[in-house]
Structure 1
């Protein structure tokens, strides 16, 4: 799962200051596309209202994703299916999940007394200034945001949720706090999700010509030499790290001196290494494992619960969003995704280079 929540809280899934604009309540890109006032409530998540501006931002994001990956050139066929849903239902559900997640962050922040601080506001100001400089001026940056229905007036609306999320996580990571997890809960989560903590020594074959068997054999011999030393060690757990410093071609070992914590299939290690690691007991090391990118020695360690903790927090928050009581309004229930996105596409085309509606 890695640090996903940042999941959807990747600052609005792709932007660095993703935000939904405020402004007049019968204007704006999403009003043009839907005819729904931006301040109209479309749904509630555990009694927390979600406005049209917020939900339609996420719906537009989902539609853009569909347009990128499912438009074969003849336009989006909204009746086509993905994951057992029509593309229209898929877009609505993706937007609903995002809206529910952000609403849950806000509700938890209220429940646990987390608020936006002056330091947060200063950080948002600095981030805004950095983006303005990056794009060559505020007007230029606003023009980038405009097709997404964003403006400076509401720039803190969603990015503020990122800071609330951070404060919630800081509370969660504080021992003895209301949000701090019990160690047994972390252990259960790690076991259920199949987390492994594995250190490795990697002898890369990147520089070896695959057509030169002697070059590949030299890499294998180096791995076997490291294994021989490890096998003869009185303290292999300690000496594994020492040998890694000498033999391993891992470029980021200083960032992961105790190994990696991961779940099978997430791509952290090659599949051959995952398979070998899963049959090791904690404290056991492997023989030489051959993978596409070289030769490995593996040491399975007790699961690093500190590395699991961020994912567990995200899972708790995600579960809170998924179990929330959601009620929708008639405007939500009658929203036609294909019509909305067609109108949104037209409205975007009418924007001037400065991001304002062309005369």
Structure 2
């Protein structure tokens, strides 16, 4: 999972933090495109109402994604399928999932007494200043936000959810708190998801010409030399780190003092290293493993539960959002995605033509 929820929330914060000085049009472009008032309730998540303004923000985000990846130049074919759904149903479902996730964050924050602090608001102000400077001033950046249909209140609400998420995670990391996980729950999650923790010594051939057999052979010889020393060690677990400091070309080892914790296929290590790690018992080390970018020695370690903990928190939050009681309104059911997006594109074009002034 690799903190995908945190990324989603941070994305919302990065987009919307800076809207704290925006104009307050009646729902902005999103509601103009849909014909739905911004305060209209489109759905509820465990009893928490989700407004049209919030849901349409996520719907526009999903439609923009589809336009980037599924429009071949002849317009979006909304009847085409992805993951077994039409693109129209896919867009509505993705927006629904994001809306449910944010609503769950807000509900959890209420349940566990997490609120925005003065420090949070100060951080939001700093982010506003930085973004405004990045875009050449407040007016220019507000024009960018206006194309997203964000008004001040909704932008601040989306941004605030990111900070609520961080407070919930801090509570989760506090031993003895209501959200703190039991160690056996973490262990069970790590086992079910197939987490592995390894240390490795990497001798890189990335800079060598693949056709330079002599350079590749020299790299292999150094790897075999390191393995020979490790194989003759009375304390391989200790000496592995010592040998890594001497032989490894890894430049960020100090950022991974407990090793590398990953799930198979997540890209942390080459496939050959993943396969070697799976074949080892805890405390065992591999022979020389050849990969596209060089040669590796792998030491299998006990799974680092501290590294797994953030993913477990996200899994708990996502599970709560997935299992939430969601009810939708007739207005939601009648929402025509293709028409909404066509109208949104037209409204954006009109906004651009007016120099960013919202009508």
Q: TM-score range by the shorter chain?
A: over 0.9
How far the C-alpha of 1:162 sits from its partner, in A, is 0.4
Report the counterpart of residue 175 of structure 1 in structure 2. 175
Deviations 1:292-332 (A, max 9, x none): 00000000000000000000000000000000000111110
Report the counterpart of residue 202 of structure 1 in structure 2. 202
Q: Secondary structure at the match of 1:203?
A: strand
Report the counterpart of residue 89 of structure 1 in structure 2. 89
Report the counterpart of residue 42 of structure 2 in structure 1. 42
Report the counterpart of residue 6 of structure 1 in structure 2. 6
Report the counterpart of residue 243 of structure 1 in structure 2. 243
Unaligned runs of 5+ in 2: none
Structure 1 residues 342 and 85: CA distance shift in structure 2, 3 A: same
Deviations 1:196-222 (A, max 9, x none): 001000000012221121110000000
Report the counterpart of residue 156 of structure 2 in structure 1. 156
Unaligned runs of 5+ in 1: none
Q: Secondary structure at the match of 2:297?
A: strand
Paired residues of 1:78 and 1:86 also in contact (CA < 8 A): yes
Q: TM-score, normalization: structure 1?
A: 0.96
Structure 1 residues 16 and 7: CA distance shift in structure 2, 3 A: same
Aligned-partner Cα distance in 2 for 1:270–1:207: 17
Aligned-partner Cα distance in 2 for 1:334–1:112: 36
The answer to whether the aligner puts 1:327 opposite 2:327 as a matched pair is yes
How far the C-alpha of 1:18 sits from its partner, in A, is 7.4
Q: Secondary structure at the match of 1:281?
A: coil
**Stretches of 4+ moved more than 6 A in 1?**
18-22
Report the counterpart of residue 344 of structure 2 in structure 1. 344
Aligned-partner Cα distance in 2 for 1:3–1:188: 18
Report which of the two has the higher share of helix.
Answer: 2
How far the C-alpha of 1:22 sits from its partner, in A, is 8.2
Paired residues of 2:13 and 2:159 also in contact (CA < 8 A): no
Aligned-partner Cα distance in 2 for 1:317–1:18: 26
How far the C-alpha of 1:355 sits from its partner, in A, is 2.4
The answer to whether the aligner puts 1:114 opposite 2:114 as a matched pair is yes
Q: CA RMSD in A?
A: 1.6
Paired residues of 1:22 and 1:154 also in contact (CA < 8 A): no
Q: Secondary structure at the match of 1:350?
A: helix
Q: Secondary structure at the match of 1:197?
A: strand
Structure 1 residues 262 and 159: CA distance shift in structure 2, 3 A: same
Report the counterpart of residue 357 of structure 1 in structure 2. 358
Report the counterpart of residue 32 of structure 2 in structure 1. 32
Aligned-partner Cα distance in 1 for 2:238–2:16: 42
Q: TM-score, normalization: structure 2?
A: 0.96
Paired residues of 1:19 and 1:158 also in contact (CA < 8 A): no
Paired residues of 1:19 and 1:159 also in contact (CA < 8 A): no
How far the C-alpha of 1:257 sits from its partner, in A, is 2.4
